[in-house]
Amino acid sequence: MAHYPTSDGRAAWRASVLTLFPEMFPGPLGVSLVGQALQAGVWSLTPHQIRDFGLGRHWQVDDTPAGGGAGMVLRADVLGAALDAAGAQNPDSPLIYLSPRGQPFDQTMAKELAAGPGVILLAGRFEGIDERVIAGRGLREVSIGDYVLSGGELAAMVLIDACVRLLPGVLGAAESLAHESFEGGLLEYPQYTRPREWEGRSIPDVLLSGDHQAIAAWRKAEAQRITAERRPDLVAKPDRD
């Protein structure tokens, strides 16, 4: 497997995605800064077609649920083979099943995954996957929120995007991570730009004062106010300035 070293010699962060719809990739991951980083080899993306591991003349990947019920379930034997093939190409990366039952994805998990060699993501479809493959391959279940998507592909894209923008060199200095939401456990303060007046609404005077200390204090106070109003659960966490 090609290693795609970056210009500074670092190995590329590798995203492998097991899916029935590889044509969905790179999709939104191919544009803007994340797409440029893909082009530059900062990260690599390998979609794996699950159907390539399907059974019989029709490359069957799913079957009816044991015990009855609606819909279809992706087979453990098919997924096991697909995961093994992806793992051989992307060793050392964690195996993740995108699932509404999973651990909630957040910025802390994005940082943890971005610091590793990459990820192997299994995007489910239909009613989901045979439970046995989760234990059999040690899959970590990760959810992107408390709602049900039609498939895991959009969830995989969300996870990849959040990780890739944390990789060294992906964001320019202008898009610094330092003051973003969740840094220091707070949501971001309000942002403004020209014009100074818009439909009777002004930019707060302090931001035009040139007083950097006063601006920093105002931003911190606003970040604290917004976080307390909208996400008191974050305020309760210990990890803040």
Chain residues binding ligand SAM by CB under 6 A are 98-101, 123-125, 127-128, 143-145, 147-152, 155
Structure tokens at 177: 């991570």
- Burial tier of 237 (Cβ tally within 10 Å: 0-12, 13-18, 19+): exposed
Tell me the pairing of strands 73-74 and 62-63. antiparallel
Q: Which residues contact 7 (CB under 8 A, 6 or more apart)?
A: 40, 41
- Nearest approach, Cβ of 182 to ligand SAM (angstroms)? 19
Give whichever of 47 and 124 is closer to ligand SAM, judged by the CB atom: 124
- Nearest approach, Cβ of 67 to ligand SAM (angstroms)? 14
Give whichever of 83 and 170 is closer to ligand SAM, judged by the CB atom: 83
Nearest alpha-carbon partner for 97 in 130, 139, 137: 139
Give whichever of 125 and 219 is closer to ligand SAM, judged by the CB atom: 125
H or E element: which one contains 222?
Answer: helix 212-230
- Nearest approach, Cβ of 114 to ligand SAM (angstroms)? 18
Using CB atoms, what's the residue nearest to ligand SAM? 124
Q: Which residues contact 180 (CB under 8 A, 6 or more apart)?
A: 188
What does R_g of the chain's alpha carbons equal in angstroms? 22
Give whichever of 50 and 123 is closer to ligand SAM, judged by the CB atom: 123
Give whichever of 96 and 223 is closer to ligand SAM, judged by the CB atom: 96
The SS3 call for residue 78 is helix
